[in-house]
Structure 1
Amino acid sequence: MILLEQIKSRRLQLGLKQSDMRMRLGMSRQQYQRLEASGNPRLNTLELVAKGLNAELMLIPQDKREAVLAVLAKSTPSDQRGHAQTPPEETGDPLIDDPWRGLLEENE
């Protein structure tokens, strides 16, 4: 999924309209609409949009992309809201204990 699609998808997940972004970002609906449709935003604009969408920008090595997407797909809604999960010592599963362990390391 390309970045602009991810931005739109995140906005929709939050139940926001393009016009709602004005208050969150300080940019007009038209500016935001252009960005989402075909923009070529600067890094500082992307950081502002990410903050407004309660998100974070990341660079992920291409060879780790599928693994990262798989971990993110396994996240539950309670994980995303920051509620407590089962403590790692109770699961006994190393992937559940730390699903990011080794994911972005060079040598695996």
Structure 2
Amino acid sequence: MISSLLEQLKNRRLALGLKQSDMMLRVGVSRQQYQRLESKGNPRLDTLELLAKGLNSQLMLIPKEKLAAVRAVLEREAPDGEGAGAASPGEKKPQLSDDPWQGLLGDDS
């Protein structure tokens, strides 16, 4: 699980076009410290929250039974509109309000 999270940090950093040394300005972590965290670290929760903020991200616990729905929404909602759910001309693109998030945290409201 830790390696998957570390891979996600690296992938997010690369997606933002950032170098490890850029994290110093974003969150106050030296390149060496960030490199260590990204490669084999076991960061504390407060460190993860800080890194997420620096990567314009948010930490979230997702129940396993909702993971497929969350992934589907994220793939469908690509920022450039080219995600798996991009609408064809004249077709209504599904919205987040179409329900995949309902009940995510156990509240069915």
- Structure 1's 103 and 29: CA in aligned 2 closer, same or farther, altered over 3 A? same
Amino acid at match of 2:77: S
Instruction: Within 5 Å, give how 1:12-51 maps onto structure 2.
Output: 12-51=14-53
Structure with the higher fraction of residues in helix conformation: 1
CA distance in 1, matches of 2:95, 2:56: 28
Equivalent residue, structure 2, for 1:83: none
Q: CA deviation at 1:106?
A: 6.9
After the TM superposition, list the runs of 4 or more consecutive aligned residues in structure 1 that deviate by more than 2 angstroms: 91-99, 101-107
Count of residues paired in the alignment: 96
Q: CA deviation at 1:27?
A: 1.1
- 1:50 and 1:57 in contact (8 A); partners too: yes
CA distance in 1, matches of 2:51, 2:42: 13
- Structure 1's 48 and 28: CA in aligned 2 closer, same or farther, altered over 3 A? same
Identical aligned residues as a percent: 65
- Structure 1's 49 and 93: CA in aligned 2 closer, same or farther, altered over 3 A? closer
Q: Deviations over 1:82-102 (max 9, x none)?
A: xxxxxxxxx596765444223
- TM-score, L = length of structure 1: 0.75
Q: Pick from 56, 64, 67: which aligns with 2:66?
A: 64
- TM-score, L = length of structure 2: 0.75
Amino acid at match of 2:103: G
Q: Deviations over 1:37-58 (max 9, x none)?
A: 0110000100000000010000
The gaps in structure 2 that reach 5 residues or longer are 82-91
- 2:20 and 2:34 in contact (8 A); partners too: yes
The gaps in structure 1 that reach 5 residues or longer are 80-90
